[in-house]
Amino acid sequence: MSATKKQVPGGGKLKVLFITSEAVPFCKTGGLADVAGSLTPKLAELGADVRVVMPLYGSIGTIWRERMTDEAEFPLNLGWRKQYCGIKTLDHLGIKWHFVDNEFYYRRESLYGYGDDGERFCFLSKAALDMLPAVGFKPDILHCNDWQTAPVPLLMNAGYKATAGLKSAISIFTIHSMAYQGVMSPQILDDVLGLSRPEYFRPDRLEFNKAVNLMKGAIVFSDAITTVSRSYAEEILTAWFGEGLDGLLREYSFKLSGIVNGIDTKSYDPSTDRHIFMNYDKDHMDGKAANKTGVQRMLGLGQGGDKVLISIISRLISQKGLDLVIRIAEEVLQDPETQLAVLGTGDPKYEEFFRALAARHPGRVAAKIYFDEDLARKLYAGSDIFLMPSAFEPCGLSQLIAMRYGTLPVVRETGGLKDTVKPYNKFTGEGTGFSFVNYNAHELLETIWKAVAVFRYERDVWDGLVRGAMSLDSSWEKAAGEYLKLYGSLFAKGAKPAKE
């Protein structure tokens, strides 16, 4: 049964325009790319008519460009500017991908980090709307993501909603992280977007500490706001997590909800993964031990005995709770049978710490200060414990992958970690990992020792936890179904799918 037909009044096929600044497999800097590349095909599988709009970056490879067709070309008005806009279309995974072409804005070395980023992504937002007549698409849902597409709900309010095909369209804004909000000079309103500064540069609209905050505008003007876990949706209503917008989010909390991201369970499948040493599943776990031995040998770590292998696969930044790890690492390693493997890059402070730790503990600590997908998968499969004590974590995907491979996570109860990892309960024997509440090194240390004790002395309990973790449904199908349910609930309030 189609989830879309069940949710949309009248049984019509829901039309979704998903607007993003990045998506796998074309380009990636963070988790948004995984969401855009995985959620959209799943929405299409469940019956929606999905189109994706994103920039045609210079880094997008020839293998993709050769498959694109020229869909449209038109001049795009951006304030006083009249810029070339091309739309190139690619059919991939059952959906149409519309790439916005402008070499001045997008043919650059990196995706972000330029002084005119505000102008670049206002261009993307306007192009996503202006292209619709040319590509013959009348969306029911415009699904925007992070500050780079935040101008879309604002432009809808400023006049686009009144145009043909968008009168009943609904805008949804998904916050993947509150840390990046698109704070710009007020000049962007009139000089770039062509809007009245007195009308929109107000405390109840886009004004934020004497600047324009594009994310704030999307929160105000979108029809619904989502974020990537239920707990993060609650956390951002507080000053600690709200990054200055907690008061505004409390005001608009009536339209805020959290939907946990998924992972690609076909790709991340220990029974078929070609990267790992031996395939296995929850009913045939011999391969798990073989993977542990294989990755230990590969990293120069000791094998056999009661050794417990703890891994960290992460960007090495403060958000990931590494300051806590620094404080307890030597104490953890006082147990001669405990090993640590670290894979990732980031802040030089953390890179140097783990390099030095490995030098002090040869054969027990491996620090690989780079990222390698093949080694990451081998570590997910071969580790016993996965460490993720984040200071904050909107959703997190690594803990989902670890559980998929039967590696139990030790996490702090924040954001998506709280929603996805069920802490071990010694009285019921239930759980899918281990967790602690406060951002405190002693609590982390205690939780690690708790996990190690169960691993060593209650092996039947440990094996049950592993099987439970591997049985979790972390698929994108589950998340896509929740998004379709949200889309349907918005239409149930009075909106109707657009007519062809």
Q: What is the pLDDT of residues 222-243, one digit of tens each?
A: 999 999 999 999 999 999 999 9
Confirm whether 3-262+477-492 and 286-473 share one CATH topology. yes
- Please tell me the predicted confidence (pLDDT) of residue 494: 53
- Please tell me the predicted confidence (pLDDT) of residue 37: 95
- Please tell me the predicted confidence (pLDDT) of residue 163: 77
Of 19-33, 467-481, 485-499, which range is least confident?
A: 485-499
What is the architecture of the domain spanning 286-473? 3-Layer(aba) Sandwich (3.40)
Which of 101, 99, 2 is CA-nearest to residue 49? 2
State the SS3 of the chain: CCHHHHHCHHHCCCEEEEECCCECCCECCCHHHHHHHHHHHHHHHCCCEEEEEEECCCCCCHHHHCCCEEEEEEEEEECCEEEEEEEEEEEECCEEEEEEECHHHHCCCCCCCCCCHHHHHHHHHHHHHHCHHHHCCCCCEEEEECHHHCHHHHHHHCCHHHCCCCCCCEEEEEECCCCCCCEECCHHHHHHCCCCHHHHCCCCCCEECCEEEHHHHHHHHCCEEEECCHHHHHHCCCHHHHCCCHHHHHHCHHHEEECCCCECCCCCCCCCCCCCCCCCECCECHHHHHHHHHHHHHHCCCCCCCCEEEEEECCECHHHCHHHHHHHHHHHCCCCCEEEEEECCECHHHHHHHHHHHHHCCCCEEEECCCCHHHHHHHHHHCCEEEECCCCCCCCCHHHHHHHCCCEEEEECCHHHHHHCCECECCCCECCEEEECCCCHHHHHHHHHHHHHHHHHCHHHHHHHHHHHHCCCCEHHHHHHHHHHHHHHHHHCCCCCCCC
Q: Is the pLDDT of residue 36 over 70?
A: yes
Angle at which helices 322-332 and 441-457 pack, to 10 degrees? 50
Q: What is the mean pLDDT of residues 456-473?
A: 96
Residue 285 pLDDT class (50, 70, 90 cuts): very high
Residue 354's alpha-carbon distances to 3, 226, 308, 341, in angstroms, are 47, 36, 18, 9
Q: Is the pLDDT of residue 419 over 80?
A: yes
- Please tell me the predicted confidence (pLDDT) of residue 11: 57
User: Please, what is the average pLDDT of the chain?
Assistant: 94
Which residue matches tokens 């657009």? 498
Residue 38 pLDDT class (50, 70, 90 cuts): very high
Q: Which residues contact 109 (CB under 8 A, 6 or more apart)?
A: 58, 59
Q: Give per-residue pLDDT as tens, 82-117.
A: 999 999 999 999 999 999 999 999 999 999 999 999
Q: Which residues contact 246 (CB under 8 A, 6 or more apart)?
A: 236, 237, 238, 239
Q: Give per-residue pLDDT as tens, 340-386.
A: 999 999 999 999 999 999 999 999 999 999 999 999 999 999 999 99
Q: Give per-residue pLDDT as tens, 44-84.
A: 999 999 999 999 999 999 999 999 999 999 999 999 999 99
The residue type at 78: L
Tokens of 187: 């000049």
Percentage of the chain lying above the pLDDT 90 cut = 91
Q: Please state, as a whole number, how many other Cβ atoms lie within 10 Å of the Cβ of residue 68.
A: 19
List the domain boundaries for the chain: 3-262+477-492, 286-473
CATH number of 3-262+477-492: 3.40.50.2000
Alpha carbons 80 and 83: distance in angstroms, whole number? 10
Residue 491 pLDDT class (50, 70, 90 cuts): confident
Tokens of 332: 């953890």
Q: Please state, as a whole number, how many other Cβ atoms lie within 10 Å of the Cβ of residue 179.
A: 10
Alpha carbons 487 and 465: distance in angstroms, whole number? 35
Peptide bond into 25 cis (omega under 30): yes
Q: Please state, as a whole number, how many other Cβ atoms lie within 10 Å of the Cβ of residue 183.
A: 16
Alpha carbons 219 and 175: distance in angstroms, whole number? 9
Of 66-80, 151-165, 301-315, which range is least confident?
A: 151-165
Q: Is the pLDDT of residue 263 over 50?
A: yes
Look at the chain and count its residues: 500
**pTM for the predicted model, two decimal places:** 0.91
- Please tell me the predicted confidence (pLDDT) of residue 498: 45
Q: CA angle at residue 366 from 362 to 370, to 5 degrees? A: 140
Q: Is the pLDDT of residue 291 over 50?
A: yes
